Amino acid sequence: DIVMTQSPDSLTVSLGERATINCKSSQSVLSSSNNKNFLAWYQKKPGQPPKLLIYWASTRESGVPDRFSGSGSGTDFTLTISSLQAEDVALYYCQQYYSAPVTFGPGTRVDIK
Protein backbone atom coordinates (compact mmCIF):
# COMPACT_ATOMS: atom_id res chain seq x y z
CA ASP A 1 0.00 0.00 0.00
CA ILE A 2 1.11 3.57 -0.65
CA VAL A 3 1.83 5.36 2.62
CA MET A 4 0.82 9.00 2.84
CA THR A 5 2.46 11.36 5.30
CA GLN A 6 1.58 14.96 6.09
CA SER A 7 3.37 17.83 7.72
CA PRO A 8 2.97 19.59 9.98
CA ASP A 9 0.60 17.70 12.28
CA SER A 10 -1.00 21.02 13.13
CA LEU A 11 -0.52 24.69 12.44
CA THR A 12 -1.93 27.93 13.70
CA VAL A 13 -2.21 30.85 11.32
CA SER A 14 -3.51 34.39 11.74
CA LEU A 15 -6.65 35.38 9.91
CA GLY A 16 -5.81 36.50 6.40
CA GLU A 17 -2.41 34.82 6.44
CA ARG A 18 -1.24 31.88 4.32
CA ALA A 19 -1.47 28.29 5.49
CA THR A 20 0.61 25.59 3.81
CA ILE A 21 0.18 21.86 4.29
CA ASN A 22 2.53 19.27 2.86
CA CYS A 23 1.77 15.74 1.78
CA LYS A 24 4.21 13.07 0.70
CA SER A 25 3.53 9.68 -0.83
CA SER A 26 5.79 6.65 -0.43
CA GLN A 27 5.80 6.21 -4.19
CA SER A 28 4.95 8.37 -7.15
CA VAL A 29 1.26 8.91 -7.86
CA LEU A 30 1.90 10.43 -11.28
CA SER A 31 0.42 8.37 -14.05
CA SER A 32 2.46 8.08 -17.20
CA SER A 33 -0.66 7.22 -19.18
CA ASN A 34 -2.44 10.52 -18.64
CA ASN A 35 0.25 12.66 -16.96
CA LYS A 36 -2.03 13.28 -14.00
CA ASN A 37 -1.25 13.06 -10.32
CA PHE A 38 -3.79 10.86 -8.56
CA LEU A 39 -3.90 13.04 -5.44
CA ALA A 40 -6.85 14.64 -3.68
CA TRP A 41 -7.32 16.95 -0.71
CA TYR A 42 -10.25 16.93 1.71
CA GLN A 43 -11.41 19.24 4.47
CA LYS A 44 -13.08 17.79 7.53
CA LYS A 45 -14.87 19.73 10.24
CA PRO A 46 -16.15 18.22 13.49
CA GLY A 47 -19.46 16.45 13.04
CA GLN A 48 -19.29 16.73 9.26
CA PRO A 49 -18.10 14.36 6.57
CA PRO A 50 -14.95 15.07 4.57
CA LYS A 51 -15.40 17.55 1.75
CA LEU A 52 -13.48 17.21 -1.50
CA LEU A 53 -11.44 20.35 -2.15
CA ILE A 54 -8.88 19.40 -4.80
CA TYR A 55 -8.41 16.47 -7.16
CA TRP A 56 -5.77 15.65 -9.75
CA ALA A 57 -3.47 17.44 -7.30
CA SER A 58 -4.47 20.90 -8.49
CA THR A 59 -8.04 20.92 -9.83
CA ARG A 60 -10.38 22.72 -7.51
CA GLU A 61 -13.75 21.06 -6.95
CA SER A 62 -16.79 23.07 -7.99
CA GLY A 63 -17.80 25.60 -5.35
CA VAL A 64 -14.50 25.55 -3.48
CA PRO A 65 -13.18 29.06 -2.84
CA ASP A 66 -10.18 30.02 -4.93
CA ARG A 67 -8.10 30.71 -1.82
CA PHE A 68 -7.57 26.93 -1.79
CA SER A 69 -4.97 25.67 -4.23
CA GLY A 70 -3.05 22.46 -4.72
CA SER A 71 0.34 21.90 -6.26
CA GLY A 72 3.09 19.33 -6.58
CA SER A 73 3.85 16.24 -8.59
CA GLY A 74 5.19 12.74 -8.18
CA THR A 75 5.57 12.24 -4.44
CA ASP A 76 5.42 15.76 -2.98
CA PHE A 77 2.31 17.87 -2.79
CA THR A 78 1.09 21.05 -1.11
CA LEU A 79 -2.27 22.47 -0.18
CA THR A 80 -2.23 26.23 0.24
CA ILE A 81 -4.89 28.41 1.79
CA SER A 82 -3.87 31.84 0.57
CA SER A 83 -5.79 33.91 3.10
CA LEU A 84 -7.08 31.94 6.06
CA GLN A 85 -10.69 32.54 7.04
CA ALA A 86 -12.39 31.54 10.28
CA GLU A 87 -14.44 28.92 8.46
CA ASP A 88 -11.25 27.17 7.30
CA VAL A 89 -10.53 25.81 10.78
CA ALA A 90 -10.59 22.08 10.13
CA LEU A 91 -8.59 18.94 9.58
CA TYR A 92 -7.13 18.52 6.12
CA TYR A 93 -6.36 15.13 4.56
CA CYS A 94 -4.54 14.18 1.40
CA GLN A 95 -5.47 10.97 -0.41
CA GLN A 96 -3.83 9.00 -3.18
CA TYR A 97 -6.03 7.20 -5.67
CA TYR A 98 -3.19 5.99 -7.90
CA SER A 99 -3.32 2.45 -6.65
CA ALA A 100 -5.68 0.27 -4.66
CA PRO A 101 -6.32 0.44 -1.84
CA VAL A 102 -6.64 4.21 -1.78
CA THR A 103 -4.92 5.62 1.27
CA PHE A 104 -5.19 8.83 3.22
CA GLY A 105 -2.69 10.91 5.08
CA PRO A 106 -3.02 11.23 8.86
CA GLY A 107 -4.39 14.75 8.65
CA THR A 108 -3.22 18.27 9.47
CA ARG A 109 -5.15 20.42 11.89
CA VAL A 110 -5.46 24.10 11.01
CA ASP A 111 -6.39 26.60 13.72
CA ILE A 112 -6.55 30.36 14.04
CA LYS A 113 -3.78 32.12 15.92
Partner 1 sequence: EVQLVESGGGLVQPGRSLRLSCTGSGFTFGDYAMTWVRQAPGKGLEWVGFIRSKTYGGTTAYAASVQGRFTISRDDSKSIAYLQMDSLKTEDTAEYYCTRDFVGGVNRAAYDVWGQGTLVTVSS
Cβ 3 to partner 1 shortest distance, Å: 12
Q: Distance (Å, rounded) from C-alpha 71 to C-alpha 6?
A: 14
- Write phi, then psi, for 87 (nearest 5 degrees): -75, -5
Give the x-and-dash track for 24-43 against partner 1 (CB under 8 A).
--------------x-x-x-
- d(CA 22, CA 77) in angstroms, rounded, equals 6
Out of 9, 16, 32, 49, name the contact with partner 1 by CB under 8 A.
49
- Tell the smallest beta-carbon distance from residue 43 to partner 1 (Å): 11
Residue 51 in the binding site for partner 1 (CB under 8 A): yes
Toward partner 1, which CB reaches closer, 36 or 67? 36
Residue 95, interface with partner 1 (CB under 8 A)? yes
Q: State the Cα–Cα distance between residues 14 and 19, nearest whole angstrom.
A: 9
* DSSP reduced 3-state for 104: strand
Quote the CA–CA distance of 108 and 88 in Å, as a whole number. Answer: 12
Residues that bind partner 1 (CB under 8 A): 38, 40, 42, 48-52, 55-56, 61, 93, 95, 97-107
